[in-house]
Structure 1
Amino acid sequence: MSIRKGNLQDLSEMLILFQDTITMVCKGDYNPNQIEAWKSGADNKERWLDVMKEQYILIAESENKMVGFCTLAQGNYIDLLFVHKDYQQHGIASQLYNMAEKEAVQQQQKFLTADVSITAKPFFESMGFKVIQEQIVNVKGIDLINYKMEKRL
């Protein structure tokens, strides 16, 4: 597996991975209506183009296939961190996260924050994040629970 910086040509594959991961990996923590509402975020082309233009993007690849990605916004916010359903528990999220944290440290950030799903919360805790608060996010009329988390660097 290799990790490289992302670019606009990665967007279509990122969107597929985003939706597939939510569908398959998060189904134990969210009901079908919540999954569909969350996945609909892929339809917000303007938001994703902003991600591609403004965020630090890392892409994990294995055998010329995208197996994960992570984005860092404003130098201290982990916006997106997704790993392909067939590559869970292989250390990919940890490697992506560690590279994003290294970038934040190089930018002299004092902390990292993230809004994370129920599914991702144990991973972020294992990386040293603490829950600041539980949140209810309304997406297209559907409530989803997530957590505002923070880590001091």
Structure 2
Amino acid sequence: MNINVREANYSDLEEMQDLFLEAIKNIPNSDYSEKQTEAWASTVKNKERWKSMLANQYVLIAEINRKIVGFGSLDKDYIDFMYVHKDFLRKGIASKIFEGLQRKSIELGCNQLTSNVSKTARPFFERKGFSIIKENNNIINDVEIINYYMSQ
């Protein structure tokens, strides 16, 4: 399996949003309820947020056979987005994206990375040396969604 990691561009936006929705809809019910994942998925409608992410953050895409299978974004020392297609979990894709984001943060002179991490992604970030700083109670469309502010 040949994984190509590259910087994202605006032409990737629609495929990235599709992957975002697909990833959220396939989160285990043990982590988040259907109501919670529906509220979370609704954030894809915030077009300005997505355009701003592409314009102002360092965004990496992982592709296999020109199909986007994962993406992640870095805002200075903060990992904002990190999503992998359900069919490609545990195949090293998130790690390749993470390594690229980490390299960029070092180039930018950052000493430590931070991120707001879902229950589902928490074990991955813990394996990368992150620890929980605090638990967040986010409200999206009147639905509470818990995640964790973590630091490496």
Name the TM tier (shorter chain).
over 0.9
Change (3 A) 1:26 1:7: farther
Number of equivalenced pairs: 150
Tell whether the 8 Å contact from 1:27 to 1:35 is kept in structure 2 after alignment: no
Render the CA deviation track for 1:44-82: whole Å, top value 9, x for unaligned.
001111001101000000011000000001x11000000
Partner of 2:150: 149
Using the alignment, how far apart are the partners of 2:129 and 2:95 within structure 1? 12
2:85 is the counterpart of 1:84: yes
From 19, 22, 25, the equivalent of 1:23 is 25
Using the alignment, how far apart are the partners of 2:93 and 2:148 within structure 1? 22
Identity, in percent, stands at 41
Runs of 4+ aligned residues of structure 1 deviating over 4 Å after TM superposition are none
SS of equivalent to 1:128: coil
Partner of 1:119: 120
Using the alignment, how far apart are the partners of 1:76 and 1:89 within structure 2? 25
Q: Which amino acid in 2 is paired with 1:29?
A: D
SS of equivalent to 2:26: helix
Kindly state the Cα deviation for residue 26 of structure 1 after the two structures are TM-superposed. 4.2
Partner of 2:62: 60
Alignment of 1:86-105 (within 5 A): 86-105=87-106
- Structure 1 vs Structure 2 CA RMSD: 0.8
Using the alignment, how far apart are the partners of 1:95 and 1:126 within structure 2? 14
